[in-house]
């Protein structure tokens, strides 16, 4: 039996951000996730956008957390070394008839306290972004709209939480949560060991309903909303500089076109409610739809070199229940469901974290900390260290910096991933970090090896070799992500 003060179920961006926030206090924290690494669910397959916050309905938790989350990211990105860029966003309007809606959006944003919103004329838009479609009529400019690396964001929260004492149990599936007689919970896992926790935080993404329904009579339901994306080569990474949204029209919600913080161009997402919580497959129809919609925003010519397509599942709340902390207007399914469950004291839901969940994560963590503080007295640690440093990279470094890196570790000169120029030193550091990367996907998220235009065609055998060597295992034991996702057979198998 493991005893912990707070058990967090789910090591996505929310679970990790909460762990990091709570690690400021004298608490024993345990994060549990079924996957082999953090950031394996919704957090790894989204737009990578830190929204400014005009979109959410005023008065919702979503609106409040979004604007706050955006603000926090500016300091957090420095503190935690997260790739982040305030590139601004534009909501494009294509006809005079829709101008009312654009004005409405601006008013809503102002009510939500989004700073700097401004409506730009067609000429102003085209001057800012020459590759925007000539059909643009006007646009709403949100200067605080930003882009970030969702992988490093999650990893950074987790690493900093670990540095400050939090424990992570990976490859551990929660099979049951039940209330103890007086207070607290017992969590059963696939690993056999039971975990006893005073407070349980349910940040299980698309599975948050399953976890919630283990402890509460008031059932909730999460529906996965599939979003497909196309990622394009860096040679069109500066096709646009701001993130482009489309004003929803009678034809439906639009698609976004955005540069990524690493310099690619991306379009997406589609929005399709599905049943399969593992349904992250891409479809021909999805990519066709994205291509059709993207050209409403930008001129043709960006799309010759797609490098990958992927899909993520947004956790959409379709059946909500009441929570203890909602005194104000409660939207239920239109909002996030964050709070202590009424018939389960000490059990906190962080559920329905669809878009803009990533943008909100830092603020969500603060909000959850307040909730925890109401249940348990929080005492600050004297030695909390808020700083996390990422792995020093060759890519983007100056020649002097590269020279210094090679002096520090000659393996910096051994480039393993040619496309993203990732060195052996970086990969080895990721493997031996405080939150060890033990799979190819984990290495990819931390170093970008395999993320480039050849999609690991060259570096795959090399990264597998390094992982096997550093972990002291056979190459056949190296996985892409979860157990069973091996690349090569053992030599004895032949």
Partner 1 sequence: MKAQLVVIGGGPAGMAAALKAYENGVKDILILERDNTLGGILNQCIHNGFGLHTFKEELTGPEYALRYVHMLKDTDIKYMLNTMVIDVTGRGDKDNELKDIKDACVVTAMNGEMGLLKIEAEAVVLAMGCREKTRGALNIPGFRPSGVFTAGCAQRYSNIEGLMCGKKVVIVGSGDIGLIMARRMVLEGAKVICVAEIMPYSGGLRRNIMQCLDDYDIPLYFRHTVTKIEGKDRLTGVVICEVGDDFAPIPGTKKHYDCDTLLLSCGLIPENELSVAAGMELDPKTGGPFVNKDFETPKRGIFACGNVLHVHDLVDNVSKESVLAGEGAAKLILEGVKDWGEVQELKLPAKSQNTIPKDFDKTRQVICIRCPRGCLVTADKKEDGTLDITGNSCPMGFEFATNEMTAPKRTVTSFVSIKGKKNPVPVKTKGEIPKSSVFECMKTIKAVELDREVKVGDVIIENVAGTGIDVVATGETDGI
Cβ atoms of residues 459 and 417 within 8 Å = yes
> CA 113 to CA 26: how far, in whole Å?
34
Provide the sign of the torsion angle of the four alpha carbons 153, 158, 162, 166, taken in this order: positive
Provide, rounded to whole angstroms, the least separation between the CB of residue 176 and partner 1.
24
| CA-wise closest residue to 117 among 92, 97, 90 | 90
Window 419 to 438, contacts with partner 1 (CB under 8 A): 419, 421
Window 247 to 286, contacts with partner 1 (CB under 8 A): 278, 280-284, 286
Cα dist from 429 to 45, 153, 411, 455, whole Å = 24, 18, 11, 21
Site map (CB under 8 A) of partner 1, residues 191-230, x = contact = ----------------------------------------
> CA 255 to CA 289: how far, in whole Å?
9
What are the residues whose beta carbons fall under 8 Å from the beta carbon of 154, sequence distance 6 or more? 11, 12, 13, 16, 38, 39, 43, 44
Q: Does 484 bind partner 1 (CB under 8 A)?
A: yes
Provide, rounded to whole angstroms, the least separation between the CB of residue 233 and partner 1.
9
Q: Does 488 bind partner 1 (CB under 8 A)?
A: yes
Figure out which of the listed residues 72, 415, 437, 442 binds partner 1, where binding follows CB under 8 A.
Answer: 415
| CA-wise closest residue to 448 among 307, 259, 230, 262 | 262
Provide, rounded to whole angstroms, the least separation between the CB of residue 285 and partner 1.
9
Q: Does 370 bind partner 1 (CB under 8 A)?
A: no
Figure out which of the listed residues 406, 436, 470, 477 binds partner 1, where binding follows CB under 8 A.
Answer: 406
Provide, rounded to whole angstroms, the least separation between the CB of residue 280 and partner 1.
7
129, two tokens: 């972004």
Figure out which of the listed residues 333, 375, 471, 481 binds partner 1, where binding follows CB under 8 A.
Answer: 481
Figure out which of the listed residues 411, 470, 471, 477 binds partner 1, where binding follows CB under 8 A.
Answer: 411
> CA 420 to CA 113: how far, in whole Å?
38
In which order are the strands placed within the sheet that holds 146-148?
A: 49-50, 146-148, 84-85
With respect to partner 1, which residue has the nearer C-beta, 310 or 336?
310
The pairing of strands 29-32 and 2-9 is parallel
Cα dist from 346 to 181, 185, 266, whole Å = 13, 8, 41
- Tokens 């919609």 correspond to 293
> CA 439 to CA 443: how far, in whole Å?
6
Cα-Cα-Cα-Cα torsion 118, 123, 128, 132, nearest 10 degrees, comes to 110
Provide, rounded to whole angstroms, the least separation between the CB of residue 315 and partner 1.
18
Figure out which of the listed residues 231, 337, 344, 391 binds partner 1, where binding follows CB under 8 A.
Answer: 231
282, two tokens: 């891409």
Annotated catalytic residue within 51, 74, 262, 432: 51
Q: Is the peptide bond before 79 cis (omega within 30 degrees of 0)?
A: no
Q: Tell me the window of 3-11, 81-89, 384-392, 471-479 that interacts with partner 1 (CB under 8 A).
A: 471-479
Backbone angles phi, psi at 357, to 5 degrees: -60, -40
Backbone angles phi, psi at 10, to 5 degrees: 115, 120
User: Active-site residue 212, yes or no?
Assistant: no
Cβ atoms of residues 341 and 215 within 8 Å = yes
Window 290 to 319, contacts with partner 1 (CB under 8 A): 305-310
Figure out which of the listed residues 58, 235, 324, 325 binds partner 1, where binding follows CB under 8 A.
Answer: 235
Provide, rounded to whole angstroms, the least separation between the CB of residue 461 and partner 1.
5
Q: Tell me the window of 219-227, 249-257, 370-378, 448-456 that interacts with partner 1 (CB under 8 A).
A: 448-456
Q: Tell me the window of 72-80, 200-208, 374-382, 455-463 that interacts with partner 1 (CB under 8 A).
A: 455-463
How many Cα atoms within 13 Å fall on the side-chain side of residue 462?
18
Provide, rounded to whole angstroms, the least separation between the CB of residue 460 and partner 1.
6
Provide, rounded to whole angstroms, the least separation between the CB of residue 260 and partner 1.
15
Q: Does 471 bind partner 1 (CB under 8 A)?
A: no
Figure out which of the listed residues 28, 272, 465, 477 binds partner 1, where binding follows CB under 8 A.
Answer: 465
By CB under 8 A, name the binding residues for partner 1.
231, 235, 278, 280-284, 286-287, 305-310, 399, 402-403, 406-407, 410-415, 418-419, 421, 440, 453-458, 460-461, 465, 475-476, 479-489, 491, 493-494
The residues assigned a catalytic role are 51
């Amino acid at each position: 039996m493991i005893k912990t003060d707070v058990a967090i179920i789910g090591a996505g961006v929310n679970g990790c951000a909460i762990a990091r926030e709570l690690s400021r206090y004298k608490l024993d924290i345990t994060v549990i996730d079924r996957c082999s690494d953090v950031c394996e669910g919704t957090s790894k397959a989204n737009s990578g956008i830190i929204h400014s916050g005009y979109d959410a309905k005023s008065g919702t938790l979503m609106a409040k957390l979004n604007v706050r989350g955006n603000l926090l990211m500016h300091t957090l990105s420095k503190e935690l070394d997260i790739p982040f860029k305030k590139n601004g966003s534009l909501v494009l309007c294509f006809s005079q008839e829709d101008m009312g809606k654009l004005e409405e959006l601006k008013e809503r944003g102002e009510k939500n306290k989004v700073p700097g919103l401004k409506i730009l004329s067609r000429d102003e838009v085209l001057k800012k972004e020459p590759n925007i479609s000539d059909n643009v009529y006007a646009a709403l400019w949100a200067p605080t709209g930003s882009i970030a690396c969702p992988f490093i964001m999650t990893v950074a929260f987790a690493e900093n939480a670990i540095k400050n004492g939090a424990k992570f149990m990976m490859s551990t599936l929660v099979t049951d949560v039940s209330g103890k007689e007086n207070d607290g919970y017992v969590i059963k896992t696939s690993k056999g060991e039971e975990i006893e926790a005073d407070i349980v935080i349910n940040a299980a993404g698309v599975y948050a309903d399953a976890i919630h329904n283990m402890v509460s009579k008031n059932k909730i339901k999460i529906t996965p909303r599939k979003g497909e994306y196309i990622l394009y080569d860096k040679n069109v990474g500066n096709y646009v500089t701001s993130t482009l949204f489309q004003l929803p029209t009678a034809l439906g919600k639009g698609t976004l076109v955005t540069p990524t913080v690493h310099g690619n161009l991306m379009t997406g997402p589609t929005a399709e409610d599905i049943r399969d919580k593992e349904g992250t497959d891409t479809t021909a129809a999805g990519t066709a739809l994205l291509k059709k919609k993207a050209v409403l925003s930008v001129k043709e010519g960006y799309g010759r070199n797609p490098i990958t397509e992927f899909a993520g599942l947004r956790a959409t709340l379709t059946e909500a229940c009441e929570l203890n902390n909602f005194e104000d207007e409660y939207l239920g399914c239109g909002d996030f469901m964050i709070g202590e469950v009424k018939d389960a004291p000490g059990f906190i839901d962080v559920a329905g974290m669809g878009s803009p969940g990533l943008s909100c994560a830092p603020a969500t963590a603060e909000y959850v900390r307040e909730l925890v503080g109401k249940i348990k007295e929080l005492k600050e640690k004297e030695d909390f260290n808020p700083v996390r440093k990422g792995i020093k990279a060759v890519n983007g470094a100056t020649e002097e910096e590269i020279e210094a890196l090679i002096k520090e570790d000659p393996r910096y000169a051994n480039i393993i991933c040619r496309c993203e120029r990732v060195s052996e030193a970086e990969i080895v550091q990721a493997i031996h970090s405080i939150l060890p990367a033990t799979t190819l996907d984990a290495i990819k998220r931390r170093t970008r090896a395999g993320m480039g235009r050849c999609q690991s065609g060259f570096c795959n055998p090399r990264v597998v070799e390094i992982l096997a060597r550093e972990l002291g295992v056979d190459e056949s034991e190296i996985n892409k992500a979860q157990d069973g996702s091996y690349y090569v057979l053992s030599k004895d198998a032949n």
